[in-house]
Structure 1
Amino acid sequence: MAKRSTLFIRIVEGKNLPIKDITGSSDPYCIVRIDNEAIIRTATIWKTLSPFWGEEYNVHLPPTFHTVSFHVMDEDSLSRDDVIGKVSISKEALSAKPQGIDGWMNLTEIDPDEEVQGEIHLQISVVGDGDTPRKLRCQILEARDLAKKDRNGASDPFVRVRYNGKTHESAVVKKSCYPRWNESFEFELDDTLPESPLSVEVWDWDLVSRNDFLGKVLFNINRLQSAQQEEGWFRLGPDKPKHSQYDEGTLGSLRLQLKLRDETVLPSSCYQPLTELLCQSVGPHLNGNWPDLIMLIDETTTAESRQEVANNLVKLFLGQGLVKEFLDVLFKLELDKTTEPNTLFRSNSLASKSMESFLKVTGMQYLHRLLGPIVNRIFEEKKYVELDPNKVELKEAGCAGLHRLQTEADVIQQSSSLLQSYLSELLNAIQQSALYCPLVLCQVFQQLYQRVQARFPDPEYRKVKFIAVTSFLCLRFISPAIMSPKLFHLREKHADARTSRTLLLLAKAVQTIGNLDTLACCSKEPWMVPLQPAIQQGIDQLKDFITKLVTCEDTDDLGLQARMNLQCGTMEKEGFLFLHRIKDKCIPMTSPFKKYYVTLSKDTLSYSRTQHSKKSSFIALPKIRAVEKVEEKSFGSANVMQIISSEDSGQLDTLYLDCKSVNELNHWLSALRKACSHNTNTMSHYHPGVYKADRWSCCHQKEKTDPGCDKTRHGVTLQEWYDPLDPDLEAQLIYRHLSGVQQAMREKYYELIKEEEGEDPELEKGQKRLDSVTRLLSVLRDLHDAHAAVEEEERSKNKNFFLELQT
């Protein structure tokens, strides 16, 4: 059994942001923090006070997290980025709205006294008996992960303890965010003031300016006297909020969509009956019989939950090796309901959403290989392209060599030539991609092509089988990726306005080709006419490509190997990074990093000097004990991570990787943490600094073998399309959905039986189908009982713990 928390985040847009630049605008971006740890950085939107991001993330979190916050910043190239404001949302607020949060939220001022972090280790007790005055004893042991308030990247913390008008202070620990005090203070316990709290405050000492507040913890003396003693790590909280100098809404607002899901995942054996029932509903033994369960899921899934259900089903059937069979059932259901070929797969049905998910899960590497070169070319060239006469800007097309502005016709002619060049390059790449398109993608498109051909065999519908394939491949996969390459991880940042317009026009051309109809587009947007010859040629090329794709020809060993490599995901993540590796030596003062090509595969992390050279070093993934960030002051970079692994001798080996951005850093952190999620010998604590000058830079401990001064954060990861499959979690999510719609499924079931068999169905046939539904309801009931037993066990443990605390 495991507890999993997943947070869906969509950073939609901002509005009414304050001006931060002398140009009268700002360059805003967002940093997303989980309990003060930065995990996401959006792209910067240049020169706007109303940015649109539209970026989506799924984040796996430990169930113990407290807060998610969104810090809006203004990027400056010559100085430190300006802080605009923040939105903070507690876990309690997210849990209170299981349907999710969607709306505008005002940015608030970032008050340093509110920006606290870290924990303090305390032992609070009441000592003494009836013969001697009772005393309140507070033992200050240590603290960890305190905020960095000084320019040296640390703090000088001390503790101030207050009770009943009296105050004690600890010694100051210099230059540490992980101080150890081990000091004890006592107060006379005043029974006449039972409501007087004990306050433990942590401060950063400063010689020439006022001390900085680092956080505090308050203790209820009444509760403490009942328990006699309380010990543990306590999260530091903020001070009382001060009155903001800004009126509400002055700093602008963010539109956010958030949804927290806490799941208790049971052992695999509990989900086996549900998984078997789902597999039987698409298995080959059906022999053309009515696929009851998938049809019921299709009929009872609402539009709001359809994408999520499709994701879960695709991943579950991929794990069971039955994704082709599952999609084929959905194809058949969709075709049975379709009478007009022109509307086929144009709605957001379960079949359409499932194919979208399938393409992203199995085809992202293919998409990157296909679109990467042309998208990079457009970003790098930054050419002005416009075909619509109403949008042509002649000032953008000045021709300095001729000392005159080009005419509107000149601009459109040059734009048409550029777009035809881009389109030709893309279509040639699509044709060549038939050799390396993943085999499972070819097979699914083949069965879709054949199903549609059988359903609409008449000559006048001869294009429909091609359109069925292009409606997914072009309209729902390639075109959206061209329009928004950032959202498909093709580029690190959003396109500027000029590049964005070029991408949009190219995507329009691809959509027109995908529709196999030049006339429809040109009648709606006549300014696309200059592209008509290229589009017509593209239609012929695309049909030729689809013909090759659906034959799944693997006569070429090289082509087969390329397909198998992409299909099996032998390379889960790769790219150039700067590396430095140490064993038993200190970090030199100069930068030790060198550029290597790093590859994360199923079993190893390897690297070499070039992409195609022989890998020079390997780290077996089971030997990795921690994957964590490194403090910025250690190497002068905020984007360094460390991989701590153990050798056969037991000696620890640390590899440092310097990434080019916080997003790249978090993608690598997430990929490695997920790849090592089943490692057993992981570290619970680590050093966020480096060992140099005979001490750790983070906590100043002199022992190199010190176990670590900060807890590891391996529970926070970003969800990617190429994540390893988690069959138990997918089955749990499907169970949760089916539990919510089981009454609707029962009603729909009887309705469908009546429609097919009439009011007097054959008793034997109807009874078989009734048994099928009864089995499903029984499986759901068993899973409900299993969850109830786990919850009861948790309540019992918490009750016993509270009783032990009291005694």
Structure 2
Amino acid sequence: MAKRSTLFIRIVEGKNLPIKDITGSSDPYCIVRIDNEAIIRTATIWKTLSPFWGEEYNVHVPPSFHTVSLYVMDEDNLSRDDVIGKVSISKETLSGKPQGLDGWMNLTEIDPDEEVQGEIHLQISLLVDGNAPRKLRCRVLEARDLAKKDRNGASDPFVRVRYNGKSHESAVVKKSCYPRWNESFEFELDDTPADSLLSVEVWDWDLVSRNDFLGKVLFNINRLQSAQQEEGWFRLGPDKPKHSQYEGTLGSLRLQLRLRDETVLPSSHYQPLTELLCRSVETHLNGNWPDLIMLIDETTTSENRQEVATNLVKLFLGQGLIKEFLDVLFKLELEKNTEPNTLFRSNSLASKSMESFLKVAGMQYLHRLLGPIINRIFEEKKYVELDPNKVELKEAGCTGLHRLQTEADVIQQSSSLLQSYLSELMAAILQSSSYCPLLLCQAFQQLYQRVQARFPDPEYRKVKFIAVTSFLCLRFISPAIMSPKLFHLREKHADARTSRTLLLLAKAVQTIGNLDTLVCCSKEPWMVPLQPAIQQGIAQLKDFITRLVSCHDSEDLGLHARMSLQCGSMEKEGFLFLHKTKDKCILMTSPFKKYYVTLSKDTLSYSRTQHSKKSSFISLPKIRAVEKVEEKCFGSANVMQIISSEESGQQETLYLDCKSVNELNQWLSALRKACSHNTNTMSCYHPGIYKADRWSCCHQKEKTDPGCDKTRHGVTLQEWYDPLDPDLEAQLIYRHLSSVQHAMRDKYYELIKQEEVDGTDTDQDPKKVDGITRLFKILQDLHDAHMAVEQEERLKNKNVFLELQT
């Protein structure tokens, strides 16, 4: 049994942001933090007070997380970035909205007394010694992950303990966010104390300015009477919020957030459901009886259709039945549709499933196909415009011979550029038939054949091609061209000029995908200059589809093996700056060197060049921790460390310097997922480095000290190359089926009654009737299993006195 929490975050746009630059505008971007750990940075939208991002993420978070915060920043090239404001949402708020939050949220001012983080290790005890007055002892042991308040990337923390009007202070630990005090403070307990609260406050000591607040913990002494002693790690909380003078004047963000907490049972609980779904797919093609897949299709609403489609696709990918599942959906869709011109254009379960399948199984193909042309457009930054109403005239020529370009000149140059881009793209598409994943070829092949059998008349000879292009071009290639960042083709959004070029190219691809130049030219006459290139592209696309659907299954490579090659490789690669140190190695001043790093299924390898034959590698099972490094260590906030053990037992640490917080968290996520089944993992680590005979984080002198901070395996980003998780996918499908089981039952009886009226099925197949009945029995069994787990959790937590976060 495992707890899985997934947070969906969509950062849509902002409005009414304050002016931060002398130009009368701002350059806003967002930072997303989970419990003060930065995990996402959006692109910067330049020179605007109403930015549009449209970025979405799925983040796997630990069930114990408390808050998600979004900080809006103004990027500055010459000075530190300005903080505009933030939006904070607690886990309780998200849990109370199962359908999620969607709307505008006001930005609030950053209050330093609320910007706290970290935990403190305390031991609180009552001392009773015969007739002597009772005493309250507070032992302050250590703290971890405190906020960094000084410019050196650390703090100078000390503790102030207050009770009943009296206070004690600990020693100051210089330059550390992981201090160790090990000090005790005692207070006499009166029979009738004026205040029953014990306050433990952590402060950052400053020589000149006022001390900075780092957080506090409050204890009710009256509740401690029965326990006598309590020890553990306690989360530091903020001070009382202050009224902001800027409330309502910092603008707002439009956000969509949804938290899903799942209790994933052992695999054996989901096996009956998985087997029933697989059997339903395998037997559906034998008749038209209303089976499970048909009922799911009929009862899934538009609000959750995309999520259900993605979960079903991943489940059947893992079972090696994705072709059969998609074929069932194609068959159901074709039976309902009598108009070929609207085929697969709606957001049906078939359309959403095929779209999800392309993203899960075809993203490497997409990157190889579009990467060169997208990079060329970004690098050239050419001005391209065909619409006369949007043409911007500019000067052209050499110095002293400037002349104003005419509208015709701009359109002619733009047409030539677009035709060049389009020709390069179509040539790449035509050549991609040789490396298109076999699984994609087979899916498009059965779609092509299904449509051809459904519309065999000569007048519909284009429909089978349009069915393929409606997914390949309209739902896959064209959206990726328009928004390359959302498909991980580029790290940043395109600027206004490049964005317009991409939009025009995507329009041309959509026109080619529709296989009809006349419709486009009648709606947008300014696209006429591209008509020759579009006509040539249509011919090339038909040729490509003909090749694509002519693929044949390789006899020596099974479907399941191919699936593991295409979707479970966990590959990630790119240039990073590395430094490696062993137990007795001294860290040099400038240790990082550029390497090409590749994460494969079993190893992490690195070499000086991408195609170098000589490389070093780390076996993934030997990795014990993958964690961030304090900014003060190397002067960079984007350094991570990989701690592994050698066969000799010696510990080795590899430091990787990433160029951005996004790249850092992508590598952290990929490595943590790849090592998720490692058994010899560390529970704690040092976020600093060992230099000058001590750890920079906690100042401990023993190099073998186990660590001053807990390892974090929980926060990871969901990526298209993630390995399949059959139990989680089965749990998500169960949750959906459980929510619609009454609608499924009603729909089932409705279809049975209709067939009796029509006289189309007088002999009901007992196996299929039994399948539907068995589904409801399986859902009830899973419900009972979840109830038993919840009851066990309640009994386990019944006598818990204080909430400890360890």
C-alpha separation in 2, matches of 1:9 and 1:761: 48
Deviation at 1:243, TM superposition (A): 2.5
Deviation at 1:413, TM superposition (A): 0.4
C-alpha separation in 2, matches of 1:614 and 1:288: 56
Aligned equivalent of 1:253: 252
Query: Any residues of structure 2 matched to 1:669-708 within 5 Å, and which?
Result: 669-708=668-707
Query: Structure 1 residues 264 and 378 mapped into 2: Cα distance closer, same or farther (>3 Å)?
Result: same
Deviation at 1:762, TM superposition (A): 6.6
Aligned equivalent of 1:375: 374
Query: Any residues of structure 2 matched to 1:429-468 within 5 Å, and which?
Result: 429-468=428-467
Match of 2:184, SS state, is strand
Query: Any residues of structure 2 matched to 1:607-626 within 5 Å, and which?
Result: 607-626=606-625
Say whether residues 1:477 and 2:504 are aligned partners.
Answer: no
C-alpha separation in 2, matches of 1:490 and 1:745: 41
C-alpha separation in 2, matches of 1:592 and 1:721: 33
Question: Deviations 1:99-131 (Å, cap 9, x if unpaired)?
Answer: 100011111111111100111111112222672
Letter in 1 for 2:42: T
C-alpha separation in 2, matches of 1:680 and 1:437: 37
C-alpha separation in 2, matches of 1:396 and 1:737: 60
Aligned equivalent of 1:779: 778
C-alpha separation in 2, matches of 1:512 and 1:401: 43
Deviation at 1:778, TM superposition (A): 0.1
Question: Deviations 1:666-723 (Å, cap 9, x if unpaired)?
Answer: 1010000000001111111111111111111111111111111111111110001110
C-alpha separation in 1, matches of 2:343 and 2:219: 64
**What percentage of aligned pairs have identical amino acids?**
89
Aligned equivalent of 1:163: 163
Query: Structure 1 residues 566 and 680 mapped into 2: Cα distance closer, same or farther (>3 Å)?
Result: closer
Tell me which moved more, 179-188 or 744-753: 179-188
Aligned equivalent of 2:62: 62
Tell me which moved more, 263-272 or 612-621: 612-621
C-alpha separation in 1, matches of 2:759 and 2:78: 80
Say whether residues 1:233 and 2:230 are aligned partners.
Answer: no
**8 A contact 2:215–2:239 mirrored in 1:** yes
Deviation at 1:242, TM superposition (A): 2.1
Aligned equivalent of 1:91: 91
Aligned equivalent of 2:357: 358
Aligned equivalent of 1:532: 531
Aligned equivalent of 1:52: 52
Tell me which moved more, 700-709 or 43-52: 700-709
**8 A contact 1:310–1:354 mirrored in 2:** yes
Say whether residues 1:202 and 2:195 are aligned partners.
Answer: no
Question: Deviations 1:506-531 (Å, cap 9, x if unpaired)?
Answer: 00000000000000001000000000
Query: Any residues of structure 2 matched to 1:96-245 within 5 Å, and which?
Result: 96-128=96-128, 131-193=131-193, 195-245=195-245
Say whether residues 1:338 and 2:337 are aligned partners.
Answer: yes
Deviation at 1:554, TM superposition (A): 8.3
**8 A contact 1:11–1:256 mirrored in 2:** yes
Aligned equivalent of 2:14: 14
Query: Structure 1 residues 589 and 612 mapped into 2: Cα distance closer, same or farther (>3 Å)?
Result: closer
Aligned equivalent of 1:634: 633
Deviation at 1:768, TM superposition (A): 4.3
Say whether residues 1:581 and 2:580 are aligned partners.
Answer: yes
Match of 2:621, SS state, is helix
Q: Which runs of 5+ in 2 are unaligned?
A: none
C-alpha separation in 2, matches of 1:363 and 1:216: 50
Letter in 2 for 1:363: G
C-alpha separation in 2, matches of 1:737 and 1:674: 26
Letter in 1 for 2:153: G
Query: Structure 1 residues 288 and 803 mapped into 2: Cα distance closer, same or farther (>3 Å)?
Result: same
C-alpha separation in 2, matches of 1:372 and 1:117: 41
Match of 1:765, SS state, is coil
Say whether residues 1:723 and 2:727 are aligned partners.
Answer: no
Q: What is the total number of aligned residue pairs between the two structures?
A: 802
Letter in 2 for 1:121: H
Question: Deviations 1:429-481 (Å, cap 9, x if unpaired)?
Answer: 00010000000000000000000000000000000000000000000000000
C-alpha separation in 2, matches of 1:8 and 1:587: 43
Letter in 2 for 1:380: E
The TM-score, its normalising length taken from structure 2, stands at 0.97
**8 A contact 1:574–1:599 mirrored in 2:** yes
Query: Structure 1 residues 555 and 306 mapped into 2: Cα distance closer, same or farther (>3 Å)?
Result: closer
C-alpha separation in 2, matches of 1:183 and 1:326: 64
Aligned equivalent of 2:390: 391
**8 A contact 2:576–2:658 mirrored in 1:** yes
Deviation at 1:134, TM superposition (A): 1.5
C-alpha separation in 2, matches of 1:402 and 1:508: 36
**8 A contact 2:606–2:616 mirrored in 1:** yes
Deviation at 1:552, TM superposition (A): 1.0
Say whether residues 1:543 and 2:542 are aligned partners.
Answer: yes
**8 A contact 2:569–2:721 mirrored in 1:** no
Tell me which moved more, 54-63 or 204-213: 204-213
Deviation at 1:143, TM superposition (A): 0.7
**8 A contact 1:122–1:232 mirrored in 2:** yes
C-alpha separation in 2, matches of 1:164 and 1:47: 54
Letter in 2 for 1:376: N
Match of 1:701, SS state, is coil
Deviation at 1:227, TM superposition (A): 2.4
Match of 2:187, SS state, is strand
Query: Any residues of structure 2 matched to 1:75-90 within 5 Å, and which?
Result: 75-90=75-90
Letter in 2 for 1:245: Q
C-alpha separation in 1, matches of 2:695 and 2:303: 51
Tell me which moved more, 606-615 or 475-484: 606-615
Aligned equivalent of 2:23: 23
Query: Structure 1 residues 430 and 803 mapped into 2: Cα distance closer, same or farther (>3 Å)?
Result: closer
**8 A contact 1:387–1:416 mirrored in 2:** yes
Question: Deviations 1:717-775 (Å, cap 9, x if unpaired)?
Answer: 00011100000000000000000000000000011112223288877516544322110
C-alpha separation in 2, matches of 1:276 and 1:14: 47
Say whether residues 1:740 and 2:735 are aligned partners.
Answer: no
Aligned equivalent of 1:751: 750
Match of 1:202, SS state, is strand
Deviation at 1:590, TM superposition (A): 2.6
C-alpha separation in 2, matches of 1:391 and 1:635: 48
Deviation at 1:179, TM superposition (A): 1.0
Letter in 1 for 2:175: K
**8 A contact 1:366–1:566 mirrored in 2:** no
**8 A contact 1:606–1:615 mirrored in 2:** no
C-alpha separation in 2, matches of 1:772 and 1:242: 61
C-alpha separation in 1, matches of 2:217 and 2:759: 71
**8 A contact 1:436–1:563 mirrored in 2:** no
C-alpha separation in 1, matches of 2:726 and 2:591: 42
Query: Structure 1 residues 744 and 615 mapped into 2: Cα distance closer, same or farther (>3 Å)?
Result: farther
Aligned equivalent of 1:33: 33
Letter in 2 for 1:210: R
Match of 1:76, SS state, is coil
Tell me which moved more, 506-515 or 277-286: 277-286
Letter in 2 for 1:122: L
Aligned equivalent of 2:71: 71
Deviation at 1:402, TM superposition (A): 3.9
Deviation at 1:661, TM superposition (A): 1.1
Deviation at 1:565, TM superposition (A): 9.7
C-alpha separation in 2, matches of 1:60 and 1:299: 30
C-alpha separation in 1, matches of 2:662 and 2:496: 22
C-alpha separation in 2, matches of 1:353 and 1:474: 15
**8 A contact 1:30–1:71 mirrored in 2:** yes
Deviation at 1:658, TM superposition (A): 1.1
Letter in 2 for 1:61: V
**8 A contact 1:195–1:221 mirrored in 2:** no
Aligned equivalent of 1:306: 305
Query: Structure 1 residues 554 and 609 mapped into 2: Cα distance closer, same or farther (>3 Å)?
Result: farther
Aligned equivalent of 2:795: 796
